[in-house]
Structure 1
Amino acid sequence: MAANSKLNLQAVYTAPDAAKIFAHEIPSASSTDSFTAKQSHLTTLQSLVPKLQEEINVFLTERMEEDKKAQGAVSEMEAREEENYGEEVVEEDA
């Protein structure tokens, strides 16, 4: 690997109606293979992974909201399920 080569941390989203590439440039470790250079490279990579994850989460949330709007009004049952998501719901017999 050359000292000036560039690397990318990349994720690709593809769907029938859309595609998006998420990428961050990572400075490559120097060709001297020093411990400090490798450690710096890994630290940079470690800091970029959460940023990439956040960008993907924001994008997917936006896509979900767009899909929800396209589907129209949410049914009452779906609204109740979403409201109670993650909670145990005990239905009472009347």
Structure 2
Amino acid sequence: MAANTLLKAVYTAPDTTKSFQFTIPTASSQDPAAKATHLSALRSETPKLQEEINVYLTARMEEDKKSQGQLSEKEAKEEENYGEEVVEDDA
């Protein structure tokens, strides 16, 4: 019976956890051809896993930029007169 190897990465943040995984058939311990097939599958699936993680993290960074952008605009307004006395014109 063939076993499988799980190629897995887990992203954990304070607000979420995301798992990424690919299943690769495990080689029998003595069969060189099966080992070569297993290593080939591992080499093939690893970049796919990395790409999936990169897509997810890029989307998270874009979400963070949007939320920070809103905060940055608010902070920019607050800091517009930072360190200066704001005098209202009574004229």
Greater per-residue helix proportion: 2
**CA-atom RMSD in angstroms:** 1.5
2:82 alignment partner in structure 1: none
Identical residues among aligned pairs (%) = 57
Aligned partners of 1:53 and 1:23: how far apart in 2?
10
Secondary structure of 1:29 counterpart? coil
Provide the C-alpha distance between the structure 1 equivalents of 2:10 and 2:20, rounded to a whole number of angstroms: 6
Alignment correspondent of 2:51? 54
- TM-fit CA distance, 1:70: 1.0
Number of residue pairs the alignment of both structures matches: 72
CA distance in 2, matches of 1:8, 1:28: 9
Q: 2:36 aligns with which of 35, 39, 47?
A: 39
User: What is the correspondence of 1:1-94 to structure 2 with a 5 Å cutoff?
Assistant: 3-31=1-29, 33-73=30-70
Residue number in structure 1 paired with 2:76: none
TM-score, normalised to structure 1, is: 0.70
Unpaired runs of at least 5, structure 1 = 76-94
- Look at both structures and tell me which one has the larger radius of gyration over its CA atoms: 2
For residues 5 and 29 of structure 1, the distance between their equivalents in structure 2, rounded to whole angstroms, comes to: 8
Give, in whole Å, the separation in 2 of the partners of 1:29 and 1:59: 30
After the TM superposition, which parts of structure 1 deviate over 4 Å for at least 4 consecutive aligned residues? none
